[in-house]
Amino acid sequence: MINQTIEPGNTGDILYFMRVLLFIAFLSMGYVLSRPKPDGDKDPALLLPDTANLDLPEQEWKGLPLWQRKASEKAIERYGAAQEKKWQRWNEAMFEAE
C-alpha cells in the first residue's frame, strides 16, 4: 500500500478543474456556433444583396452623379478582370508543372 496523506486540495487541483471546465465551455460554444441555421431563421438584411434578392445597389447609387456611377462600374469591371488574371496566374503556377 502506498502511503499517501489525505489533505485538502491544493491550488493545482482547482486550476486543472478550471482549465478542463474552460475547455469544455469553448468546445460546446464552438459546436453551437458552427451549426447551420435553418433557412427560416435568416434575416434578409444580413444576407448579401444577390442572395436576398433585394435592390440595394440602386439605393446606394442614388446620390452619385451619372459620370461617377459609370466610372465606378468601369472600375469594378476592371478590378474583377485583374483579379481573375491574378488567380489564373496563381492557379497555373501552383498546379501546372512545367
Tens digits of per-residue pLDDT, 72-96? 899 999 999 999 999 999 888 888 7
Q: What is the pLDDT of residue 74?
A: 94
What's the rounded Cα separation, in Å, for the pair 37 and 30?
14
Phi, psi of 43 (to 5 degrees): -85, 125
Where do the structural domains in the chain lie, given as residue ranges?
11-36+50-95
What's the rounded Cα separation, in Å, for the pair 98 and 90?
14
Q: Which residues of the chain have pLDDT under 70?
A: 1-12, 39-42, 47-61, 97-98
The reported pTM is 0.37
What's the rounded Cα separation, in Å, for the pair 12 and 30?
27
Closest CA to 9 of 22, 23, 25, 18: 18
